[in-house]
Amino acid sequence: MASTANTNSKDERVGAQAPILQVRNLSKAFGAMLAVNDLSFEIPAGEVFGIAGPNGAGKTTVFNLITGFLQGTGEVRFEDKNVTNLKPYQICHRGIARTLQIPQIFSTLDVFSNVRFGAHFGNKHLKDGNEAEIIHRALDFVGLQDDKTAIAENMDLFHKKLIMIAAALATQPRLLLLDEPIGGLSPAEIDPLIKLIRKINQEWNITVIIIEHLMKVLKELSHRLMILHYGEEIRTGPPAEVMEDEKVKEVYLG
């Protein structure tokens, strides 16, 4: 398909698409503490949706609830089907992949085997005949082809993050959840990762939810941004507008 998308900007037509993800009245309590409190939002297909908020706001817990790592109350619908409280591998088979805030990789295995693990965990289309192609496509896409035989624990944080992204892509998701993919990187590593995330969204047509602290990153990447505070939505909208919101400045940016 010919694409006229400018890879340096966001596609402004995205909002017109049907929702790929619907989160309704999602809640999760840890003891007496409500980490996520009656949260509802919808994401149209094709969007890059940012989530930000203070530490402990419940951002990672939202990802854990969507991906079945934690059980909560409320409803999660993906492509108009109820996926609430399915098991993590079942949710991945449906087409939702994620990366973790702190890279979790198989340290003693090489890069190729790490990505292979991702494919085996979450790709329901995997067959003997197509496994290598799927893994190589993911490695090529993130730029790890030359490192495929390197042992994962010998790679730096930037490359560990790429391994995790490649493993997620090898599941062939239509929705990718990225939990602070930029955190801990040097300034020189940030721009290549922003470009990669934009390519994932625009070239592979994957809807992206990104948890991030750096406003520069959210402004460049996300069509809309939601600010969470104590598990509740403070404001959702275009990043520039959200960052000007008085309440957002008070609880987060201030």
Ligand X SMILES: Nc1ncnc2c1ncn2[C@@H]1O[C@H](COP(=O)(O)OP(=O)(O)O)[C@@H](O)[C@H]1O
**Contact positions vs ligand X (CB under 6 A):** 30, 35, 53, 55-61
The distance from CA 228 to its chain's CA centroid, rounded to whole angstroms, is 16
Whichever of 4 and 55 has its CB closer to ligand X, that residue is 55
Cβ neighbour number for residue 218 with a 10 Å cutoff: 22
Q: Does 67 bind Mg ion (CB under 5 A)?
A: no
Q: Are the C-beta atoms of 21 and 43 separated by less than 8 Å?
A: yes
Residue 61 contact partner, candidates Mg ion, ligand X, none, CB within 5 to 8 A by sort of partner: ligand X
CA distance 99 to 232: 23
81 phi and psi, to 5 degrees?
A: -120, 145
Whichever of 53 and 118 has its CB closer to ligand X, that residue is 53
Q: Structure tokens of 198?
A: 């934009």
Q: Does 171 bind Mg ion (CB under 5 A)?
A: no
Q: What minimum distance in Å lies between the beta carbon of 53 and ligand X?
A: 6
Closest CA to 209 of 122, 72, 99, 105: 99
Q: What minimum distance in Å lies between the beta carbon of 91 and ligand X?
A: 18
Residue 55 contact partner, candidates Mg ion, ligand X, none, CB within 5 to 8 A by sort of partner: ligand X
* Residues forming beta bridges with residue 179, ordered by sequence position: 211
CA distance 211 to 227: 10
CA distance 27 to 46: 26
Q: What minimum distance in Å lies between the beta carbon of 209 and ligand X?
A: 13
CA distance 49 to 55: 19
Q: What minimum distance in Å lies between the beta carbon of 250 and ligand X?
A: 17
Q: Does 61 bind Mg ion (CB under 5 A)?
A: no
Q: Among residues 23, 26, 60, 217, which is the contact residue for Mg ion, using CB under 5 A?
A: 60
x/- site string to Mg ion, residues 14 to 53, per CB under 5 A?
A: ----------------------------------------
For residue 57, give the 3-state DSSP assignment.
coil
* Residues forming beta bridges with residue 48, ordered by sequence position: 208
Q: At what angle do helices 187-202 and 157-169 cross, to 10 degrees?
A: 10
Whichever of 198 and 229 has its CB closer to ligand X, that residue is 229
Residue 111 contact partner, candidates ligand X, Mg ion, none, CB within 5 to 8 A by sort of partner: none
DSSP strand pairing (81-82 vs 96-99) = unpaired
Whichever of 19 and 54 has its CB closer to ligand X, that residue is 54
Q: What minimum distance in Å lies between the beta carbon of 34 and ligand X?
A: 9
Q: What minimum distance in Å lies between the beta carbon of 63 and Mg ion?
A: 8
Residue 4 contact partner, candidates Mg ion, ligand X, none, CB within 5 to 8 A by sort of partner: none
The distance from CA 9 to its chain's CA centroid, rounded to whole angstroms, is 19
What are the residues binding Mg ion (CB under 5 A)? 59-60
